[in-house]
Structures are given as C-alpha cells and as structure tokens.
Amino acid sequence: MDMKDKTSSIFSYFSEMPDFRINRRKQHLLTDIITITIAGVICGMESYDDIEDFAVFRQDWFKTFLELPGGIPSHDTINRVFSNMDPARFEACFRNWVDAVLESHPGQLISIDGKTIRGAKSHGIKSPIHMVSAWASDSNMVLGQVRVNEKSNEITAIPELLNSLFIKGNIISMDAMGCQQEIAACIVKAEGDYLLGVKNNQPALHQNLEDSFRFLKIADEDEDIDIGHGRIETRKCTIITDMAHMEHPGKWRKLKVLIRMESKRCDKATGATEHASRYYIASKPESAAFYQKNIRSHWGIENKLHWTLDVIFQEDADRKRNKNAAQNFSLINKVALNILKNDQTKNISIRRKRNIASWDMKYLAKLLNF
C-alpha cells in the first residue's frame, strides 16, 4: 500500500478509540467529534467555538458521510471530550496509523526533539507543557509525541516515545539531551541505528571525541558549500572509525562512527566570519557524505514541525487549559499537519492549503478521503 492509501485510512485507526463516556449521556458519536475537529483544524480553526461554527456552517456537507445523531456537537461538548479523553489511548491510535506508513518506508531518519506549548493553562494559571515528538524526514510525518512530566525532563520521556515507535531499519537522531547510554541501547535493541549529538553534558565522551580527531587517522570527509540569505556557509563532515581514544567504548552499544561537523559562516555584507565545531556518535557504518546529509536533515524537525506548529497552527499561543486538552489538541494539530504535508495534489504552502480546504469542500473531502 502506498503513502496516499496509508494516509487516507487514518479514520479507520481512530475508530478504534474507546469511548470513555457514559452511554445514557452520549448524544454524539466519538468518531464524529474527532472527524469534525480534524476537519476544522485542517481548515484553520483554532478554538472550540471556531470548530463548532465551522461545522454548523458546513453541516449539510458533514451529513453526507457522518451519522450526526445529535446534530453538530457544541463547543462545550468538544471541549469536554478532548479534556477527558485518555491521551495515551488517543496517541496509540495515531501511532498505529503512522507506524503503518513507516513500516513501508524503512531506512528513514527519525528526528526526536522537544517543544514547549507556552500558552497552555491549568486552573486559569499559565502552565506550559513540554512535548517530545518524533519526525520522519522522508515521509514528512509526525510519528508520535510524549508529554514530559512537570517534575521530569526529556531524558525520561524519550525512552517512552522510542518504545512506541517502529524503529527497525531506521536511524534515530537526537541532540545532546538524548545522548545517553540507555537511550542508545534502547534504539539498538529495537534494531535501529542512532545518531547522537555530543556536548559537555557528557564531558568525558566529548573529550574522547576531541582527542580522537586530534590524534587518529581520518576515515572519510565531505564538504558542502551553501550560498544564500546573504552568507556563505562551508560545512565539513569528518568521520573516524578507530575507537582507540574512546574510554570504555563498549558502554555505547554498537558504536561504530565518530563524527565532527565543522562550519564556517561568512557574512557577505560585513565579511564577518563565524566558526563552530560539533561532535556526534553513530552506530551505522556509513560515509561522511551520508552523515553530512542526515545531520542537516535532523533539523527538519525544527523547520518542518515546530516552526509550522507555532507560526501556521499558532500552537504556542494556544490557551487550551482543561485536563488533557492541550496534549490531545496538540495531537490533532499533528494529524492535520501530516495530512496537509502528504497531499501531493497542490504544490503550495500549508497556509494556502488550509485556506483552500476551508473554501473548497471537494478539496477537503479529498484530504480526508471522504
């Protein structure tokens, strides 16, 4: 089954979501509420009131494929559902969908990084929540998310996210926060490979890498020059496969490659030059060109996911505040983003796709496969 078929079957996966509500009080089907919300968010609706207004205005269209036994749910009903719905079960349905996509496209880079939803509130008090998400660079899809507990950090959330993903045959990349022996072991156990940034949060490892590139033979190197945005940037990727200067290399499961990325950025207007060096460790024996490409691709999670959620979906300004609302609605945003990103019928921006979907019901029906 190709990407289009897999993406279009999302509602069959969400139909598996158990309904937590008492039968005698249910006026609306859970699948109807989820479908209306996803459709509304695709079309640019941001609040529960917006979603209700949109659905009321498009009620005749929704009736062509939804049951709507109680008509269009009110904004209060939508709020209650997403506030009380179990986020773990909701995310499990989401992951079943994207895992099916990922399984048919092995060998991808999966980037993992955290993002704070700063506008979230609890009991009227501003209480930002932090989400760790996984992004597949080739498939252009969010693969999953885990909320970081208030008294915890990303290090404890990352293994939970990894355990829920289809990792086999893929490369998992993380910044220095995820550079932990237990995390590397978790990835290898799932038959994946890792690419981990190394900074001074691992001082001994960082020193080992500096010593290795000072004294050992280079196995391969690759240089890339990027000209644009008023600057010239030269990036040189160098790799070493000799572990002679690594203390206890066996502690890092399947460690095969040490990587140094050197960048030189020159401002064309002023002539000012900046230099930087970054280090990585990896488990997959590959060329310097391979790691040059994948290290750059890792930051797609910032540009294609986090930036889009903040600027296009206005997630950072979201004021969802009741119980699980912020977490569940964050997932709805990611569902909408996946659908829009993987639509190949229009080669235009996400913002324009959302506008057209709100005006053209045929296009929206195509996105939702109805």
Q: Report whether pLDDT(370) > 60.
A: yes
The fraction of the chain above a pLDDT of 90, given in percent, is 58
Report residue 128's pLDDT band, with 50, 70 and 90 as the boundaries.
confident
Of 253, 270, 305, which residue is a domain's last? 305
156-171 pLDDT tens trace: 889 989 998 889 899 9
Residues 179 and 232 reside in one and the same domain: yes
278 belongs to a structural domain: yes
Q: What is the model's pLDDT at position 321?
A: 65
Q: Rounded to 5 degrees, what angle do the CA atoms 63, 46, 327 make?
A: 100
Mean of pLDDT values over 321-343: 89
Q: What is the model's pLDDT at position 150?
A: 63
Residues 274 and 338 reside in one and the same domain: no
121 belongs to a structural domain: yes
Residues 80 and 193 reside in one and the same domain: no
Q: What is the model's pLDDT at position 323?
A: 81
Rounded distance, CA 331 to CA 90, Å?
Answer: 8
Mean of pLDDT values over 324-329: 89
206-236 pLDDT tens trace: 999 999 999 999 999 999 998 887 889 899 9
Q: How many other C-beta atoms are found inside a 10 Å radius of the C-beta of residue 347?
A: 7
Question: Between these two residues, 152 and 311, which has the higher pLDDT value?
Answer: 311
What is the side-by-side strand order in the sheet with 273-282?
141-148, 129-136, 109-117, 171-174, 193-198, 273-282, 257-267, 231-240, 220-228
246-299 pLDDT tens trace: 998 889 999 999 999 999 989 888 888 999 999 999 999 999 999 999 999 998
Place of tokens 């960048």: 263
What is the SS3 string spanning 197-253?
A: EECCCCHHHHHHHHHHHHHCCCCEEEEEEEEECCEEEEEEEEEECCCCCCCCHHHCC
Report residue 104's pLDDT band, with 50, 70 and 90 as the boundaries.
low
Q: What is the model's pLDDT at position 68?
A: 94
Whole-angstrom CA distances from 255 to 76, 222, 240 are 52, 21, 11
Question: Between these two residues, 41 and 152, which has the higher pLDDT value?
Answer: 41
Tokens at residue 41, please?
């968010």
166 belongs to a structural domain: yes
Q: What is the model's pLDDT at position 127?
A: 58
Q: Report whether pLDDT(154) > 90.
A: no
Q: What is the model's pLDDT at position 346?
A: 92
Q: Indicate the number of domains in the chain.
A: 2
Q: What is the model's pLDDT at position 313?
A: 87
Question: Between these two residues, 293 and 25, which has the higher pLDDT value?
Answer: 293
Mean of pLDDT values over 303-327: 80
272 belongs to a structural domain: yes
Q: Report whether pLDDT(123) > 50.
A: no
The fraction of the chain above a pLDDT of 70, given in percent, is 91
Residues 289 and 328 reside in one and the same domain: no
Residues 120 and 261 reside in one and the same domain: yes
Q: How many other C-beta atoms are found inside a 10 Å radius of the C-beta of residue 349?
A: 12
267 belongs to a structural domain: yes
Residues 272 and 335 reside in one and the same domain: no
Residues 232 and 350 reside in one and the same domain: no
What is the residue type of 73?
P
Residues 67 and 17 reside in one and the same domain: yes
Q: Report whether pLDDT(26) > 90.
A: no
Mean of pLDDT values over 102-121: 75
142 belongs to a structural domain: yes
Instruction: State the pTM of this model.
Output: 0.85
Question: Between these two residues, 4 and 74, which has the higher pLDDT value?
Answer: 74
- The mean pLDDT of the chain is 88
Residues 66 and 197 reside in one and the same domain: no
Report residue 238's pLDDT band, with 50, 70 and 90 as the boundaries.
very high
Instruction: Classify 70 in phi/psi space as left (phi over 0), alpha (psi -120 to 50) or beta.
Output: alpha
Residues 207 and 290 reside in one and the same domain: yes
Tokens at residue 362, please?
């045929």
Question: Between these two residues, 319 and 301, which has the higher pLDDT value?
Answer: 301
Residues 292 and 329 reside in one and the same domain: no
Report residue 3's pLDDT band, with 50, 70 and 90 as the boundaries.
very low
Residues 326 and 268 reside in one and the same domain: no
223 belongs to a structural domain: yes
Q: What is the model's pLDDT at position 118?
A: 62
Q: For 58-88, give one letter per residue: b (16+ CB within 10 A) or e.
A: beebbeeebebeeebbbeebbbbbbbebebe
80-99 pLDDT tens trace: 999 999 999 999 899 888 87
Q: Supply the range of the domain harboring residue 361.
A: 3-90+322-368
56-70 pLDDT tens trace: 999 999 999 899 999
100 belongs to a structural domain: no
Mean of pLDDT values over 121-143: 75
